[in-house]
Amino acid sequence: MNFYQEVLKRKDDLLSDLTDLLKIESTKDPDTKSEENPMGVNVAKALAHMLDLSTQQGFSTKNYKGYYGYAELEGATPSNEDEHIAVLTHIDVVPATGKWTSPPFEPEIRDGKLYARGAIDDKGPTMAAFYAVKLLKELNLPLKRNVRIIFGTDEESGMSCLKTYREIERGPVGGFAPDAMFPIIHAEKGQMHVKCELTTDHIEAGQAPAEFTLLSFHGGTRPNMVPETAKAIILGDLGDVGEKFEGYVKENGLTGDITSSNDSHTLTLNGISSHSMEPFKGVNAGCKLANFLLGLSLDKRAEKYLALIDQGFHEDHFGKNIGIDHEDDITGPLTVNPAIFHYEKGGKGFVQLNLRYPVSAKAENIENGIGKFLNEYEYVIGEVRNKNPHHVDGDAPMIKALQQAYEEETGQEATLLSSGGNTYASLLPNCVAYGAVFPGKVMTAHQKDEYMEIDDLLKATAIYARALYYLAS
């Protein structure tokens, strides 16, 4: 069976359906959530879009209270009627920050690339997987197991959708999430969210008068993104601070500005966003702005807040400064992203960390190490959320089937990889991440001008069709 030729016959329809999906601004929206639409109306529209397409293809479908939906190709033999292969996709996207060349929710093809928010994470791969299942049905290929494509709605901000799915539905015998890199990611790092809260609310007696008071400091919107922009408002006589800031921004190859109103001054610094799993590929605007501000004469509480950021995280992505660095041969090094910054004079001050840690590391040891370091700066751990690492043995039959499909479609060796990203695969047994970014290609997820190459979209669809055929038959 030449799966790739069959995909080419369906290219126009695939691109048309994907374009319609990409036009939906399916970011999580608490302002429009309801009992029927827990992630907001736009995410609900994207879910409805995929379920409508599935119904048109004759798949059996389900929508569970807006948390998730699925479409199932029923081909199981009587002896395997309770078994299915799962494809774990998501239709929610992160906000489209930054200055895009073309509007992020008006898909545009340029030089063989389809640009839009969600093109690679994860709507493009979702549609590739959908067309792979569609192709199996249209070719009437014999299957021993059902194939179920699951549409998640909250992958980017907590995965409550698949956690709910796990409680309600039976588990698959195996499957994959098309939400990472090819060939196969069989191990995923653990993920820990740690809220570091400033405890001091006083100015120490005897302190020399400060030239500036920090009124507020903010940066970042999502724990899985490196903050692209940070803002601070200071009160005082600006003097030569403007020149110093201009020099700092220029020296670091960044952009920023200062706007003033009487004695109040807003400093804005722009870094470079990237995914939390690879914080070293971005420039953390919050860390940079904190580093600059500590060169000024500030009130004592502000210095306490900023000192932790600067000495704990600035230009250290691997937890060395705070004594929690760890590395293994399966998943590589621990990484740390200070993702969200919040400080108000007379109010709360905190830094939200997102950590990705190796399969051999212990969550308890990491938390204890962070707590010990925070104590030196009058901080405490306010909240911890942990997701354990995930690992499927490389000799598992499912892995061998996925390797075979990839190698037959590409002619390339299907090596086993690990990742600092967390996909749905880590929440269900015997599942792995499988594409859709090919080796040597740039991963543009969570970045401005996100795209997926059309040739790669077609190749991924063929790989998924062959892989699902092997897994289900």
Structure tokens at 133: 């299942």
Cβ–Cβ under 8 Å, residues 117 and 57 = no
Max Cα–Cα distance, the chain, nearest Å: 82
Q: 354-365 in b/e burial notation, b at 16+ Cβ within 10 A? A: bbbbbbebebee
CA–centroid distance for 189 within its chain: 13
Tokens, residue 437: 């970014």
> What percent of the residues of the chain are helix, what percent strand, and what percent coil, each to the nearest 5?
35, 30, 40
Residue type, 380: V
- d(Cα 45, Cα 206) in Å, to the nearest integer? 59
What does the block give as tokens for 345? 């004079």
In Å, what is the CA distance from 357 to each residue of 220, 233, 309, 329?
A: 21, 34, 20, 12
Separation of alpha carbons 101 and 89, rounded Å: 27
Question: Containing H/E element for 338?
Answer: strand 335-344
Q: Which residue in 17, 25, 72, 92 is the catalytic one?
A: 92
Roughly how many angstroms between the first and final C-alpha of the chain, as a whole number?
Answer: 14
Give yes or no for a contact between 153 and 398, defined as CB atoms under 8 angstroms apart.
no
Dihedral over alpha carbons 432, 437, 442, 448 (to 10 degrees): -90
**Virtual torsion, Cα 401, 392, 174, 471, nearest 10 deg:** 0
Identify the three-state secondary structure at position 41.
helix
> What is the distance between the alpha carbons of residues 247 and 184, in angstroms, rounded to a whole number?
45
Tokens of 389: 């690492």
Q: Is 376 a catalytic residue?
A: no
> Per the structure block, which two tokens stand in for 293?
């501000």
Tokens of 385: 């959320």
To the query of whether residue 155 is one of the catalytic residues in this protein, the response is yes
Looking up tokens 């879910």, which residue turns up? 47
> Which letter does DSSP use for residue 441 in this model?
S
Tokens read off for 135? 């192709």
The runs of H, that is alpha helices, within 325-453 are: 363-375, 397-410
Residue 20 phi, psi dihedral angles, 5° rounding: -60, -40
**Active-site residue among 155, 303, 449, 450?**
155
> d(Cα 372, Cα 365) in Å, to the nearest integer?
11
Residues known to be catalytic: 92, 155
